[in-house]
Chains A and B, each alone.
Chain A
Amino acid sequence: MAANTYPDPRVSRFINQHTIPVQFNVKEDVGAPSRYHAQWTPAIIYQDVDGNEFRRSFGPLNPDQFLAEFSLANALRFYHSGQFDKSAGLFEQALEYTQIDPWRHAENLYWIGPARYEGSGSVDDLMAGFKKLQETYPNSDWTKKTTQLKVD
């Protein structure tokens, strides 16, 4: 990732725009894997300043995968903080990066429904988001979650 992913200007722009990046070489800082409960590298962890974790990824990511993964992480950061309208917009923006990655794109489509629903209180918003996912990825595990939902 040092050779190919981090030098990509889209990746470096994303990192610099949204985060302060910290790096630990596990050969030198041998306690880092235990501190972060991350025994496999590369491990990339997205946290707020209080140490609340919103996403982690194991294994190398190419630039496109990195942008997809961490645009989702950025949206989830606001969703799980209760800032639903902001997260809904970020999930929509993340589609630009996840659309080339079926695994993350399905997850991205899934979260648009809950983000809209939590913001508006309208079940129609939830179902509209889920419908798009069901139409796009009928066999995804994320789609299966939508069919298991019971709304009162």
Chain B
Amino acid sequence: MIEVVTWRSSLEEARIEAREQHKELLIDLFNPG
């Protein structure tokens, strides 16, 4: 199965999720051009 990256848009919700799963945060700032 091919994994895809599911980007979150809320830092606070991502923090809660990361805390629950004992993971870090990867924050990507991008300019779509």
A15 within 8 A of B: yes
User: Whole-angstrom distance between the alpha carbons of A42 and B3 in the complex?
Assistant: 22
Residue contact A22 to B11, C-beta cutoff 8 Å: yes
Contact mask for chain B residues 1-18; partner A; CB cutoff 8 A; 1 contact, 0 none: 011111111110011011
A122 to B30, CA, bound (A): 44
* A114 CB → nearest B CB, Å: 21
**Would you call the interface of chain A mostly helix, strand, loop, or mixed?**
mixed
Number of contact residues on B: which range applies? 20 to 34
Tally of A-B Cβ pairs under 8 angstroms: 115
- Whether A25 contacts B32 by the Cβ 8 Å rule is yes
Query: Contacts of B26 on A, CB cut-off 8 Å?
Result: 15, 18-22, 44-46, 70
Collect the chain B residues with CB atoms within 8 Å of residue A9's CB.
Answer: 2-3
From residue 13 to 28 of chain B, which have CB atoms closer than 8 A to chain A? Answer: 14-15, 17-19, 21, 23-28
Chain A contributes a number of interface residues (CB within 8 A of B) equal to: 37
Q: Are B25's CB and A46's CB within 8 A?
A: yes
**A43 at interface, CB cutoff 8 A:** yes
Please report the C-alpha to C-alpha distance between residue A21 and residue B26 in the assembled complex, in whole angstroms. 5
Binding site for A on B (CB under 8 A): 2-11, 14-15, 17-19, 21, 23-32
What is the interface of chain A, defined by CB distance below 8 A to chain B? 1-2, 6-7, 9, 11-13, 15-16, 18-27, 32-33, 36, 38, 41-49, 54, 70, 74, 77
Known pairs A1-B30, A47-B24 / 19 extra A-B pairs, C-beta < 8 Å: A13-B3, A15-B26, A20-B8, A20-B14, A20-B15, A20-B26, A21-B6, A22-B8, A22-B28, A23-B9, A24-B29, A25-B31, A27-B31, A27-B32, A42-B31, A45-B26, A46-B24, A49-B15, A54-B24
